Amino acid sequence: MANPNSQTTISPHNQAPLCTRVYPDESELDEKLRKAARAQKEWEKVDLKERIAIGRKFMEEFEKMKGDDLYLELTEQMGRPVGQVPGEIKGFLSRAQYLLSIAESSLAGVSLKDTDAPGFRRYIKRVPLGVVFAIAPWNFPYLTSMNPVLPAIVAGNAVLLKPSPQTPLTAERFARALLNAGVPEGIIQVLHLSPILTSYVVRHELVDFVSFTGSVVGGQAVERAAVEAPGFKGVALELGGKDPAYVRADADLNYTIAELVDGAMFNSGQSCCSIERIYVHESVYDKFVEGYVDLVKQYKLGDPTRFDTNLGPVVSIASAERIRRQVADAVKAGAKALIPEDLFPIAQQNNAYVAPQVLVNVDHTMDVMMEETFGPVVGIQKVSSDEEAVRLMNDSPYGLTASIWTNAAENPDSEKAFLQMVDQLNTGTVFLNRCDTVDPALSWTGVKNSGRGVSLSKFGYDQLTRPKSVHMKIKTK
């Protein structure tokens, strides 16, 4: 029986216990929150240039941690093939570099001297919110925790970082590098918490802002807890996706097929911006499907600790069962599965390995085209026009990203068509000829059940600070 006062991480690939963390009680949490609040009052007085310099020192400290031990540690926690882990670490550090490079300009005040009347001075400054509670997921634990944590600290906030129980060691490494770089102890603290204790922290009067990345159900729980809290604290919710791709008639099929297979299968499809549904123009549909299936069949599903594996298990047996059930329901409703399961014999009912699957003859009455799968499964549907594709892409409870694949380089009309669809699509990001990627220079945001709020770019700093207006009448005679 599970201990209600602790959590144990189970490795997806072998179902073996990896590590255990004991939860604090409420009195211990109260003290950690008071420590954060006290430290924040001093931290915000530190010059911004010094905070940025400490951020750069953090990068140096984390660089020292890179290596096989770090990569295997993440693989054992969440199951991604070890050969694919360095990409997340590289992205983690490059994202930090960019966020630090724009910190000074993003946090600069706004002068109104050009319109000040004689004897007056007005300006708007940005000030930290106070104590930020960041709740991170397990699927890309380093990348997703970077989004709120480093900008919040650089902006002068204190951060309480709660990692997923699946990836507790990632937050501990992140915090250790920050502390080694000179961030005060009270400014970054890692909290391992049960759902009840998580709600307790969200509601706590000393927490000023909550940044949550995870499921829609989890986001709803955070939102409810925040509403029940005294006062009116801010909440950012980065939630799920059912991200579509549309392949137009003039797309470069060889390139597009390879990109969309990777976009659907990387990390076993466990990304909020994975490709989960594809709409293909009828004139290239058959050729696209044939090439797509051929490439998926070449994947090697297996032990993620081996460097020759490129598709690992999903996060848990429960997740695997849910994914298989969604596929089975679609097939029962008329969909056709194109990948023989016997190509991937390691995938069994009693483990977390899920065979990749491509479904055709799908429609929007099926959950596989409407609800987040979060697994190595994609549905492909034929369309006859841009208008039909846009209508189907928008027919979703989610709105994180969408991608359009067309030969804009050689066909000016294709770029024009793309830009028209950008205005028609109800999503946070629209890609041309790429997918499943996050650029820190662009705002990361979603609509509908994909959440609200924004991270990355200048707007990410705006979310973690507040404007404070100063209105001075200097001459009184």
Give burial (CB, 10 Å; 0-12/13-18/19+) of 370.
middle
CA–CA gap between residue 19 and residue 165 (Å, rounded): 10
CA–CA gap between residue 73 and residue 68 (Å, rounded): 8
| Torsional class of 433: left (φ above 0), alpha (ψ -120 to 50), beta (otherwise) | left
Residue 192: how many other CB atoms lie within 10 Å: 19
CA–CA gap between residue 160 and residue 32 (Å, rounded): 9
Which of the following is catalytic: 73, 88, 272, 276? 272
Which of the following is catalytic: 73, 76, 88, 238? 238
Give burial (CB, 10 Å; 0-12/13-18/19+) of 279.
buried
Task: Tell me whether residue 238 is one of the annotated catalytic residues.
Answer: yes
CA–CA gap between residue 267 and residue 319 (Å, rounded): 14
User: Cα separations (Å) of 161 from 82, 146, 192, 211, 439?
Assistant: 25, 11, 9, 10, 23
Backbone angles phi, psi at 90, to 5 degrees: -60, -45
Sheet holding 465-473, edge to edge: 110-111, 120-128, 465-473
Residue 162 neighbours by CB under 8 Å, 6+ apart: 133, 134, 135, 136, 171, 190, 191, 192, 193, 198, 201
Q: Which residues are catalytic?
A: 238, 272
